[in-house]
Structure formats: C-alpha cells, structure tokens
Amino acid sequence: MRFSSLFALAIPLLVVAQWQLGAWNDTAPTPCGTTAEMLVTDFPFRTPVLGLPRVEVKQCRPEESSLIQIVAWTLGGTRPALVIDTGDFGVVQAIARANVFVVETGGATRDQVFAIVYEQGRPRLAVRRTTRGTAVVTVGSAAIEIDIGGIYAGDARERRERQQFKLDSEQLRPH
C-alpha cells in the first residue's frame, strides 16, 4: 500500500474517532479567552472557584470589537455546558442567586436579556429576549422575577413579558 493511500484512509478514521469522543463539535462556539465577570452563588468549603457551577461573561477579541459571550459551567466541568454568543459589547446588569443567573447585555440600539437556570446540575437558557428598554429584575427570598418591556416584535407592537424563576440551591449539585 502506498503512503498516500494509507494517509487517505487514516484521516477519516481520526475524524470519526474525534467525533465519537465528543471532541469534534462544530455546533458549539468556542469560549473566548478573557473573563470579564464571573457569577458564582455557592462556595462549598475547599472547592476551587473554577470547579463550581458558574456563569462567566467573556470578552472576545478586545483588539477588534470587544463582543461578549455568556458561558455557563457545571460543577467540576472542564468544558462549558453552555456558550452564548451575544453579538453585544457591554453588560447592563448581572444578577445571580441560587440557581438563577440573569445577564442583560447592551448593543448599539437595543439590549438583550438572558436568564440561565440550573436544573439537575446543568445550565439551561430559559429566556433570551431583545428589548429596547431595560429589564427590571426583582430578587426575592424564593424567586427572581424579570419584567421585560419594549420587547422587539418585528412589525408588530412591542410587548411586555414577565418571567419568574424559583430559587433552589440544590439544583447546582449533581443529581
């Protein structure tokens, strides 16, 4: 067998092996390198911060455009469980309590509101809304409520939406 034939057979095998190991995932964005903000709500004794469930705001290419990402990690996770490219360049507000993380980002003419809720130890994007206003976030002892006005609706009239998320610290632990 010639070297070129062997090489042609080896490449597809390597690709399949990487895909089966989960190392090849074109659908998930790669986290940007600079952490601008880290939100953590529970600090178990002797657990390093980088091993905790957390939400990070990452700055991408500060030398070019300074766009930001929102990246969520599970307990002990070595790879992010959720990566969101916002397309925005600023943070308007960031709130975290128990298993609920709310980040509002700002673009040129609008804001975006993101709510990430941990369920059974894994982060889930529960809300992503585009608004011409600013969300009002109320933190209570049992829940976080988000009131979003000015939600962009294309040609339709702007609308208002309220979301409420129950606080549960147990959701940050593996199940």
Among residues 54, 52, 26, 162, the alpha carbon closest in space to that of 116 is found at 54
- pTM of this prediction? 0.81
CB atoms within 10 A of CB 159: 13
What's the rounded Cα separation, in Å, for the pair 65 and 58? 13
Summarize pLDDT for 84-98 with one digit per residue, the tens.
999 999 999 999 999
| 14 has a pLDDT exceeding 90 | no
Q: Is 144 helix (H, G, I), strand (E, B) or coil?
A: strand
Strand partners, 166: 143
Show Cβ contacts of residue 107 under 8 Å, excluding neighbours closer than 6 positions: 87, 88, 89, 90
pLDDT over threshold 70, residue 127: yes
Residue 130 contacts residue 114 (beta carbons within 8 Å): no
Query: Mean pLDDT, to the nearest integer, of 4-20?
Result: 41
Mean pLDDT of 100-125: 95
Exposure pattern of 70-108 as b/e (b: 16+ CB <10 Å)?
bbbbbbebeebbbbbebebebbeebbbbbbbbbbbbbee
Domain boundaries, the chain: 29-172
pLDDT at position 11, please? 41
